[in-house]
Amino acid sequence: MKGCCAQCGHVDTIQGFADEAQARECLGLALKWPRPLADSLIRYLGLFSPPKRVLAWPRARKLLDALLADIERGHIRRHGRDWAAPQAAWLAAFEVIFTRLNAGQLTLPLKDHGYLYGVLANSANSGEAQAEGQREADRRAAGQRRGASQGEQRSAEELARLAARTQVAVAASELAAEERSRPVAGLAPFNDQHRREWLAAHHPQADANAVLRLIHKEQNA
């Protein structure tokens, strides 16, 4: 049974007109995506064409529907898990396939989307490995920065303690010299209150308690 196109008068079988409608549907589905991706989709479908024959549109529609569902959700299912597959990843995967095709490394016709999905999964796996490597490098760098900061803090604390001990030693030495000179000058000896007053006047930054402990230690030695 044949039919006639009301627009142009073309005569064809009913199946021919049905195929034309399905062709328009397939192209419409592909072309709803940005131009580079749409072009790659249409070219990719051509890799399923049997030798010396064209790809049947019902077969093309089935292949396209499977792809579009995964493109829309941005993930594919491969090796028992989901892999991220944004539009950029699809474009890159199509480019890999076309490059291998031109190099004679691809056997045609393709039977299913397994080859494409393998490329996508490998790319996503490499991306995850690189991201994990970068996170590990960031963790190590952060640890080194913390270690350096702690080391600097410890160094500053050690310098502060050394400075404090030096102040105490200098203050104790000068206070001892002052006390030894007092009897010669006919002055009364110091008690701890006098010592604190002398330290406040001559060494206000020194730890008075530490100076007195050192003085008492030397007196009792």
Spans of all domains in the chain: 9-112, 159-220
pTM of structure: 0.51
Average pLDDT of the chain is: 77
Computed over its alpha carbons, how large is the radius of gyration of the chain? 43
Dihedral of CA 11/12/16/18: which sign? Answer: positive
Q: How many other C-beta atoms are found inside a 10 Å radius of the C-beta of residue 17?
A: 16
Q: What is the dihedral of CA 28, 29, 31, 34, to 10 degrees?
A: 160
Q: Is the dihedral of CA 119, 120, 122, 127 positive or negative?
A: positive
Count of C-beta atoms within a 10 Å radius of residue 45: 19
Weakest-pLDDT range from 11-15, 90-94, 161-165, 212-216? 11-15
Is the pLDDT at 4 greater than 60, yes or no?
Answer: no
If phi over 0 gives left and psi between -120 and 50 gives alpha, with beta otherwise, what is residue 85?
A: beta
Contact 76, 125 (CB under 8 A): no
Q: What is the mean pLDDT of residues 92-113?
A: 92
According to DSSP H, which parts of the chain are helical? 14-31, 35-45, 57-73, 87-102, 114-184, 192-202, 208-220
Note the pLDDT tens digit of each residue in 66-93.
898 899 999 998 888 888 899 999 999 9
What pLDDT is attached to residue 12? 36
Closest CA relative to residue 116, chosen from 38, 63, 152: 63
pLDDT tens for each residue of 19-38: 566 667 767 667 777 788 88
Q: How confident is the model at residue 179 (pLDDT cuts 50, 70, 90)?
A: confident
Q: Which long-range contacts (CB under 8 A, 24 or more apart) does 27-30 make?
A: 29/61, 29/64, 29/65, 29/68, 30/64
* Positive or negative: CA dihedral 4, 10, 12, 16: negative
3-state secondary structure at position 189? coil
